[in-house]
Structure 1
């Protein structure tokens, strides 16, 4: 029976969608994840422009910029000599009503610390008191919580302000880290919210400034989440805020330090009140070569400049300016503060929603490639990409980040794979499968496989299967006592009979390992009852072996005993081997565990042991006896094992009685009630090997209270 073309193509589409979506969200493409934010930032700027006027920005920047370095008296003086002017500007901003002033620059040294010889002493001694105005401004501002200095955490050697500045701002009470978070592609899209310093959480500079501006302390949850003024700060990376940049270069008002310094000499207090009242101020450098960072704003930057209202100095054009992909680091912190105050940090989706969107994109692309010619499919897909990108841009206008890169990658991959499938796959796949599998599978299994709703994938696929593992007891001794010809005749009869039973119940023999048989149910053909069929096959093998022991000439009156282990689980089934020779086989831990369960029969004196997963899938069709909870060799997890007694309708009263007594004894054993356990096990110990084993174990503990570390789980060391 042929699989219909529609069904076959549906299977191909589903496989392509899953593979492409899974690949798109896999770690291999982690570096392109942040690209979605970068593209959305640019698209939003192009489609919607600025979301608010610059004057409405809660944060302003005071820039030590190129203009400042070209303006007297700064043009001929090193930065360390500017502290007096910085102190005067700081005092003017605080007196003008700034909520808080943060420094995105660190003065590690003071000119007063200079030990360069000058005259009869050191230069620092000659200029003692040079930083007095700056330190007084810091002390006055920090006393009211309006000044925060920055530091850079760097292992055991942080970059911190000079000792005098740290004392002026009351040490770490008013010093906060300036570190940012860099993604794997060296792009800054996030800012940390807190840092661990001496084992205590310390807010970052951005969180501290926003906190003081809002008059609310950050709330740190046990799971690492951070809330501020009732706003639970979102973050795809724990303990970070995803930056929601505006486009262009004018969204955060920027004042040139040179102009503000001149304004203090004019004593224009009204200017400072108009421009800084109620604002968060960040002081730092905005230069062409210093502290430049790639951010998620990299596709929509602008020519930076001090475009805020002027007080004293006319705008001085700086030659050689051009738009760059990097921005000054100070705008990263300013954006973070704005996002925290406005409660509009970018919200990223988790991996599962991204995977679902990628799967939808892959499904659409694969469907178009299936129905249309390649050119038409490409055009249809690009049109869908444009529509989706427009919708994602509109969503980003409300701070929601919908993925762009992962769906696009998944869609392109699905488009290419489906076009390739259409060119390469024809009806020969069915003939190829029949010809290949006929070499090592029974004909009825091949027919069921081809009639199945799901063809196995050449090269391997994951299936839920049941593995039946059989072995003969004492085979080495049997082989020693028989001639080679007699042994071969015995094994041919035994293996043929057992194989027929396994195949008659829908399984196939994966391999023979000496006297062992590995049977698989549930592959290559779909079989929803594979666990029940494996159990039926196990009972059939036991019954048939009893007949062979009585009547088979090849057995020569010998009583052959077999042991069977059954386990259900996911396994990789397919073609394994070399390029020139391969076998259709099954590989997984489910096979190994079936082998271990077969070996467990040695200890318990049983014939068929199954795992709890197999028992769970068989329902009430069979009568099972819970044997024990064990750990088998090679595994650390505990496992409850069961003995297969009979079909449920064929259970004898004697079997039921033994099972009931055993269950009572096992319950007392696990509770540490060894005397009671021994009484129950003794009822059937004469005729039941598992009861006898537990009776001996219970009696060895009789009269003893269970130790506090009592563990009823047995570890089997033998395979």
Structure 2
């Protein structure tokens, strides 16, 4: 996680403001409507609607395809259906319906037909055909139980014919809908201005008559219906809540109801329509279809209910479609008003604030984290926010969804671009500049703190690694400078790669020597184990280079490695103007002495007892000796790592066992037996050869009684 500076904070705020303002601006207003569509779909998929359609206060009587195919309507123009419509309306009213609204318009009457028929017109021949229908309209209108529909338009208004208008005494309300710029219906008008006065829309009128109340508009433009303040984000509209996706509206086929009238089943009408608001409308696959907030999840044309007279069609269930019949839009509006279930939307200021806050969170995450992690954060916050939005939408409160999510995505992209072009340019330069001189962990610390290194250190438990090429001066004398540089670069690169692959940090190169530490700068509880592993691999790899690499072949390069573990001061050490990340302590000095001590025993790797104790379980060791190195009075036990645990060869095991016996005899002053044991393996084991010479010398000239088995090494 990177450190945020003041400039980054300012950039994050500006990016959030720009992203939030952009996605909520008027050109992208469609995003708000899309939020409603997505929330409607998610709520339906995740929660559904457990309401029983039978409890709906609104029902639909559908003039559907079945009606057009059922006698006496089959083959007859709709103008001839008026008598049967009147009979069905009468039965519905007698069944206890509160009010009936027309979502169909009969703009003409068959009595107006001027088609010649004999010596007169067809209209004259059927004069009085609509009489019974008009009488029914008059009765229902006078009782306040009927409202006809009309379409308001400056160019082509669509109204019932003149006789129907007179029959209902202008009990007519507008069926116009509110269509968003993307041709989707998400809201319905509450009223229309007609001749300078507000007239309720059809849905509001039907709900008002059912409640026995009149809609009132207050000074703030809020419409109240009985005790319900209708939420209105867009002035004079109600946002539709398609909670049941159309399936919450019981639907009756007009053909079946006409058959029920013929059957005389008044009980069916009472069971079906008592206390209900009834909408009469068209339900066809090609006429009056509307795109609504349900279009993403696909809505339904109501729920078919039990029949009275006609058998149910072979395919009774209606499939979900992206569009629904217009009558169900009005039915949903009526139900929302009666059940106080219209959607409450946030106004533009609140939407803008919420969008900016979400974008600011994402911009901050993108500033702190790597791009991939920031993208995962955006996805996680999007899912969490969507869950919250769906939860509130269940309670008819619509939080903006698309605007914050898209603003967050825009903020993510802009912040990543800002970091790449501006903020991280300095970090990349710093990393690139210091990569050849400092450990990655030190550079990370510098970048995280935003500060250059300063003098200072801390105590750490580490393992020091010293490596030096043996007899290199004599080899270098025989090489040209170019050959020498090429050889050293190859050697140091190979050893450094091994050291760093085991978590080590190369402190410095001193000629052909390598000084490295394990356990710093990065914490490593297994630093001793990793240091031994690196030493063993360096030993084996140099043998491979001597055999296979052209620059090494024939030169017989060998190196010595010293390992020691303990407390040391690690940090930036030097002058105020020039310093280095390095290490200082007796732990370092002892590791250096152990590297030099290898030449006495003929070993490649020598480790102190402290290193062995911290890594013993991982390797097979043999104790070499108890030695006292130059500049140190206290003797220490030194060991040689043979191989990984349980991976030593039989020869290594035999040599180690004999060596241990010889060392025990040596310490017991049995020098003759010690010499014999060491000589048995001296042929191919340099430490045994070294001890055999020493044992033979002491066997010939025994030491004083106060002799101790401590080998004091004279050189470094």
TM-score range (shorter-chain normalised) is 0.5 to 0.7
Q: 1:312 aligns with which of 303, 309, 312?
A: 309
Does structure 1 conserve the Cα–Cα contact (< 8 Å) formed by 2:100 and 2:278? Answer: yes
Does structure 2 conserve the Cα–Cα contact (< 8 Å) formed by 1:192 and 1:241? Answer: yes
Relative to structure 1, the CA distance from residue 58 to residue 366 in structure 2 (aligned partners, 3 Å threshold; closer, same or farther) is same
Q: 2:365 aligns with which of 347, 363, 368?
A: 368
* CA distances 1:302-346 after superposition (whole Å, capped 9, x unpaired): 453661111011111369975321111101110110011011110
* CA distances 1:99-119 after superposition (whole Å, capped 9, x unpaired): 000000110000011011001
3-state SS of 2:395 partner: coil
Pair 1:179-2:173 in alignment:
no
Gaps of 5+ in 1: 431-719
* CA distances 1:215-241 after superposition (whole Å, capped 9, x unpaired): 111112244321100211111111111
What corresponds to 1:260 in structure 2?
257
TM (norm. structure 1) is 0.57
3-state SS of 2:18 partner: helix
What corresponds to 2:104 in structure 1?
105
* CA distances 1:261-306 after superposition (whole Å, capped 9, x unpaired): 1000011111000010000000010110101111111123345366
In 2, the alpha carbon distance for the partners of 1:190 and 1:337 equals 12
Does structure 1 conserve the Cα–Cα contact (< 8 Å) formed by 2:186 and 2:292? Answer: yes
Does structure 1 conserve the Cα–Cα contact (< 8 Å) formed by 2:246 and 2:328? Answer: no
What corresponds to 2:16 in structure 1?
17
* CA distances 1:484-515 after superposition (whole Å, capped 9, x unpaired): xxxxxxxxxxxxxxxxxxxxxxxxxxxxxxxx
Q: Which moved more, 1:265-274 or 1:50-59?
A: 50-59
Aligned-pair CA distance for 1:249? 3.9
Gaps of 5+ in 2: 428-716
Pair 1:82-2:81 in alignment:
yes
1:457-606 to 2 correspondences below 5 Å = none
Does structure 1 conserve the Cα–Cα contact (< 8 Å) formed by 2:249 and 2:303? Answer: no
In 2, the alpha carbon distance for the partners of 1:281 and 1:249 equals 15
1:70-219 to 2 correspondences below 5 Å = 70-155=69-154, 157-170=156-169, 172=170, 174-219=171-216
In 2, the alpha carbon distance for the partners of 1:238 and 1:149 equals 25
* CA distances 1:399-429 after superposition (whole Å, capped 9, x unpaired): 1010001101110100000111111114879
3-state SS of 1:425 partner: helix
Relative to structure 1, the CA distance from residue 305 to residue 218 in structure 2 (aligned partners, 3 Å threshold; closer, same or farther) is closer
* CA distances 1:42-63 after superposition (whole Å, capped 9, x unpaired): 1111111114211111100000
In 2, the alpha carbon distance for the partners of 1:78 and 1:152 equals 22
* CA distances 1:145-167 after superposition (whole Å, capped 9, x unpaired): 00000010001642110111111
What corresponds to 1:241 in structure 2?
238
3-state SS of 1:12 partner: helix
Relative to structure 1, the CA distance from residue 427 to residue 359 in structure 2 (aligned partners, 3 Å threshold; closer, same or farther) is closer
Aligned-pair CA distance for 1:12? 1.1
In 2, the alpha carbon distance for the partners of 1:383 and 1:90 equals 55
Pair 1:300-2:291 in alignment:
no
In 2, the alpha carbon distance for the partners of 1:320 and 1:288 equals 14
TM (norm. structure 2) is 0.58
* CA distances 1:634-686 after superposition (whole Å, capped 9, x unpaired): xxxxxxxxxxxxxxxxxxxxxxxxxxxxxxxxxxxxxxxxxxxxxxxxxxxxx
What corresponds to 2:277 in structure 1?
280
Relative to structure 1, the CA distance from residue 427 to residue 395 in structure 2 (aligned partners, 3 Å threshold; closer, same or farther) is closer
* CA distances 1:467-489 after superposition (whole Å, capped 9, x unpaired): xxxxxxxxxxxxxxxxxxxxxxx
In 2, the alpha carbon distance for the partners of 1:306 and 1:336 equals 17
Relative to structure 1, the CA distance from residue 84 to residue 14 in structure 2 (aligned partners, 3 Å threshold; closer, same or farther) is same
Aligned-pair CA distance for 1:247? 3.8
Pair 1:355-2:319 in alignment:
no
In 2, the alpha carbon distance for the partners of 1:343 and 1:322 equals 28
* CA distances 1:233-261 after superposition (whole Å, capped 9, x unpaired): 11111111111112444210010001001
Does structure 1 conserve the Cα–Cα contact (< 8 Å) formed by 2:107 and 2:158? Answer: yes
Does structure 1 conserve the Cα–Cα contact (< 8 Å) formed by 2:241 and 2:336? Answer: yes
What corresponds to 2:608 in structure 1?
none
3-state SS of 2:5 partner: helix
Does structure 2 conserve the Cα–Cα contact (< 8 Å) formed by 1:42 and 1:247? Answer: no
Pair 1:50-2:49 in alignment:
yes
What corresponds to 2:469 in structure 1?
none
1:316-715 to 2 correspondences below 5 Å = 316-317=313-314, 322-426=319-423
3-state SS of 2:304 partner: coil
In 1, the alpha carbon distance for the partners of 2:227 and 2:29 equals 32
Query: What do you get for the CA RMSD once the two structures are aligned?
Result: 1.9
What corresponds to 2:546 in structure 1?
none
